[in-house]
Amino acid sequence: MVNRKLPPAVLVPMPDADDRYRAPALDKGLDILELLSATDAGLTQAEIAKALDRSPNEFYRMLDRLVRRGYVVRTGAERYELSLRLFALAHQHAPLRRLVSQATPLMRRFAQDAGQSCHLVVYERGRVVVVAQFDAPGYWGLAIRVGAHVALIGTGSGHVLLAFRNPQERRFMLAEHEEVAGEGAAPDDLERRLADIRARGFEMMPSRQTRGVINIAAPVFAPDGSALAAITCPYVERIDDEQAPGAEAVARLIVTAARDLSLSAGGATSPTL
């Protein structure tokens, strides 16, 4: 068995003797979450106990509750890994509102320059959710309402969010997609397609929901270089305006908008995965 030690960054200090408000069960659960966050391949119950210098029996019920609440997943090899639930919680409420606020002027500029609508999406429990939307400036356009859930697989938004996450997070996202969305397993060529997106820096694909629409999506990066969100344009070709930007030009505009939002949100300007 590989000897795994608790990294110094997640060592938990012993409470002071006069700490009158200790919550041992809560401390135990937080110790587990912090330990698993610092591992790549997951840990068995015995390895968790050894790293935290406790008896394996002390963690059985706590691990069971963390699995049932969706914070931890148990693999077929009886190893425990973090799910993406903490990631999802971290992007709710105030941080999400700030992201939307920062995105609004950039999305407005994109819509005006491209003559197309656009929307901002984030990942949430197996699906993609639209958190902001901006209409095309003309009298027509294709828009997706705020709050709508979009498929993780088969959409430009979902592919971008998957492409710019590390392999472990991608597995969690796909597992949640299969369980929550109930849409079955990912296609065999998905990893090849995601690699192409990483090399290109954005996704451009015919819509699998609406004929004649091209999904163009670009990643908004977090500080660690992973996809925090995505800006997507459901591109519709204009035949009444010869000066309207084509799909390639719109792709450049949306990549620029996503890059500027990454900078505004304090994120990286390129992937570091």
CATH number for the domain spanning 127: value is 3.30.450.40
Write the pLDDT tens digit of every residue in 68-84.
888 898 887 888 988 87
pTM of the model: 0.66
Same domain, 152 and 237: yes
Same domain, 213 and 174: yes
In a domain, residue 270? The reply is no
Write the pLDDT tens digit of every residue in 81-110.
888 777 666 655 567 788 899 999 999 999
Same domain, 146 and 182: yes
In a domain, residue 1? The reply is no
In a domain, residue 160? The reply is yes
Predicted pLDDT at 273 = 58
Same domain, 56 and 93: no
Residue (of 123, 124, 126, 129) closest to 181 by Cα position: 126
Same domain, 126 and 106: yes
Same domain, 93 and 152: yes
CATH code where residue 27 lies? 1.10.10.10
Question: Which domain covers residue 34, as residue numbers?
Answer: 10-83
In a domain, residue 253? The reply is yes
Choosing from 29, 52, 83, the residue where a domain stops is 83
Same domain, 104 and 237: yes
Please tell me the distance from the alpha carbon of residue 154 to that of residue 230, in angstroms, as a whole number. Answer: 15
In a domain, residue 271? The reply is no
Same domain, 121 and 230: yes
Rg of the chain (C-alpha set) = 22
Write the pLDDT tens digit of every residue in 238-254.
888 778 899 999 999 99
Q: For 48-52, 173-177, 234-238, which range has the lowest pLDDT when averaged over its residues?
A: 173-177
- Number of independent structural domains in the chain: 2
Same domain, 203 and 118: yes
In a domain, residue 76? The reply is yes
Please tell me the distance from the alpha carbon of residue 27 to that of residue 156, in angstroms, as a whole number. Answer: 41
Q: What is the 3-state secondary structure (H, E, C) of 29-95?
A: HHHHHHHHHCCCCCECHHHHHHHCCCCHHHCHHHHHHHHHCCCEEECCCCCEEECCHHHHHHCCCHH
In a domain, residue 111? The reply is yes
Predicted pLDDT at 93 = 58
Same domain, 120 and 56: no
Same domain, 53 and 118: no
In a domain, residue 273? The reply is no
Choosing from 65, 83, 101, the residue where a domain stops is 83
Cα 135 vs. chain centroid, distance in angstroms? 24
Amino acid at 255: V
Choosing from 40, 67, 83, the residue where a domain stops is 83
Same domain, 202 and 242: yes
